[in-house]
Every structure is written in structure tokens, then in C-alpha cells.
A = this chain, B = another copy of it.
Amino acid sequence: MPELRLDPVTGRWVLVATERARRPKDFAHQDAATGKVRPERSETCPFCPGNEKQTPPEIFSFRRDGTRPDEAGWWVRGVPNKYPALTWEPTVQASTSGIFSVRPATGAHEVIIESPLHNASPATMSYDEMAEVIRAYIHRYRALSEAPDIRYILIFRNHGRDAGASLEHPHSQVAAVPLVPPVVLEELAGARHHHESTGRCVFCDMVRQELESNVRVVLETREFVALEPYASKMPFETWVLPKTHAPSFHDLHPSNYRELAQVLVDVLRAVSTGLHDPPYNYILHTAPPRERCDGFYHWHIEVFPKLTVAAGFEFGMGMYINVTTPESAAEFLRNHVPSEPSGRNSGL
């Protein structure tokens, strides 16, 4: 019984077609079964402690007192991406020739190494460890949003080779880009439209409606909610939103780092244990730093486990086919959320 569901933010349709579905256990990621155990440290990994000289000089680090930059002793470390998609040095002149236009890809492309442990991952980190990663996000977010000509700070994470992670050592990426991403422009336009016509934030409406119906909610804490969006583009797509209206990630208060870390860790742990450590991406969506979107935009994190292949239909339509309803995905993930706050003891 295929149906078209409207994304209430962007106004895009998603095709939910469960005839094509597999059950959650059929999604189990194939590589997981190999039982390959990754070591805590790899001699050849440029992100492992002791190998600091293999990266460009560090931008920042959270490290033990008395240790020095580009040496061991850090627990989170930021470095430039060795193969940056954006650079501060202008590479081409902005120009137009007939119907073709080019401009330099000005900006920064950085890596945040999340742990000294080669085999760590958000799904196995303690809440305290993940809170330090979030502190690093905020740190770079604030610094880069001051840079001239930067219109957006994109913070994202690729987990697993099939989700684009070329190095397995746990890391996130931060890109400072000279334009507002089309994905964000589309959200801003939809959210602004909703605000113009109702006076309300569409994300606040979503949080309220989802908490009331409670069929797509995965977990809830005092400040945050994790849910499967009504028009989920992919199986087990999960959003983490602050329950209170907040346009920019910039405004996240330090007292909430650990609670956000807890929600994110619990979601990724449920995905990892329930679906056998699939590849995934997560992406921070936030208001552009130089724009006032106070009334209508609402920052959040979108998590996309990579369980299906986008193909001709998706490329040709610009529309996703989702083979799992968000209602069944939410039920499945709820059963895999740890009932007790868990996580290894942190060494922090």
C-alpha cells in the first residue's frame, strides 16, 4: 500500500512503499557478521595518538595539562582535512563564459578526531566522552562563523566505508562554506512559509504533535526528543531536536551538552545494536550564522542509517522511496534504547 507523505518542513513528497520492505533484521549490515575486531590503536592510522605528525598541525585540542600540541595527551583533536573540499586561498577567479559560471570554493574543511581510541564510536562512547565531542563542535562552529564570507557551518559525521568514511578512526567533519546549502535554503523557505501562515515554528509544531501521538518518538529527555519523522526519507531516519524553540546550534548551553550527548549516543547505540552496526551519516542542521531566523527555524540533528541504495527512481524523481514506515522504525528502535543510562566509565 504505497503512499505519498508530505514533508511538513520542505513540502517535498516521500513515497512510503512497504511492499518493497524487508523486516528490520533483514537490514542487518553484512560486514557486521564478519566479527572483525578493530584494535584500540593502529600503527598506520594518522588519527591515532603518537601519529600526530601525520596530520597537518592541529587547530585545537582538548588535552591533559602539560602535554603539547601535535603530541599525545588529547582526548578530542581538530585538524585540517588533508584533502579539503574548500580552501581559504582563492583557486579560480569568479567568472562567466556564455552560460557557464565558476567561483572559488572558499572556506575551511576540518576534521574533529573524537577519541584517541581507534576502535571507539559514538555508539560505544560514554555520555561524557560524547559531550566533549559536542563541545568541540560548538567550539569550531563559533570560531568559523566569525570568518569573512562564510555563510554556513556544516557539521557532519560519516560512519563506515559505505557511508563515505575513508578512515575508520572515529571522526566528524566541519565545513565552513561560502553559501547557504540548498538543503538548508529549502528548509528555511518551508519553515518561513509555515511561520508566515500560522505564526508558529513548524519544528515546534512537529515536536508537540509527535509527543502527543507518541507513535514515532524513539526517546525523550527533559530537553530533547528523538523521533522518526513522519515523511522519513529512509528507513530508520532519526531526528534529534531540542524541545524548546532554538534557531541556532550556536545557542546550545554548556549545561545541555551532556544531555544532547546522551540522546545521540542512545539513538546511535539503538541503531548499532538493533541493525548490526550499519554505516550511517548524521548531519547538524542549524540557522545560517549571519541570518536572523529566530521565529521560524529550529536546529536539529538528522541521522541516516545507510540500509538501502538510492537508484534511478530516486535520482530521476528527486524523491525517496522509503520501504519502512517511521512508525515501525520507531517501535523497533524504542526496543533497543538502553533502559538504564549506560556507557563505559569515562576517563575524563
Chain A: interface residue total (CB-CB under 8 A): 71
**Interchain CB contact under 8 A, A105 and B202:** no
Cα–Cα, bound, A249→B80 (Å): 48
Asked if A196 lies at the interface with its beta carbon under 8 angstroms from chain B, I say no
Asked if A27 lies at the interface with its beta carbon under 8 angstroms from chain B, I say no
**Which residues of B are found within 8 Å of A282, using beta-carbon distances?**
312
**Interchain CB contact under 8 A, A99 and B318:** no
Between A101, A103, A312, the greatest number of chain B beta carbons within 10 A of the residue's beta carbon is seen for A312
Copies of this chain: 2
**Interchain CB contact under 8 A, B163 and A309:** yes
**Interchain CB contact under 8 A, A312 and B2:** no
**Which residues of B are found within 8 Å of A143, using beta-carbon distances?**
none
Chain A 68-112: CB-based contact to B (< 8 A → 1; otherwise 0): 000000000000000111110001100000111111110000000
Cα–Cα, bound, A183→B104 (Å): 26
Cα–Cα, bound, A156→B315 (Å): 9
11 more contacts with CB within 8 A, not counting A158-B312, A283-B312, are: A2-B91, A2-B105, A3-B92, A3-B104, A4-B104, A5-B101, A99-B205, A99-B209, A157-B312, A181-B319, A281-B316
A313 to chain B, nearest CB (A): 7
> What are 17 pairs between A and B in contact, CB < 8 Å?
A2-B86, A2-B87, A4-B179, A5-B101, A6-B101, A6-B102, A8-B101, A15-B86, A17-B85, A20-B83, A99-B202, A100-B231, A156-B315, A164-B313, A181-B319, A182-B319, A282-B312
Chain A 157-185: CB-based contact to B (< 8 A → 1; otherwise 0): 11001111100000001010111011110
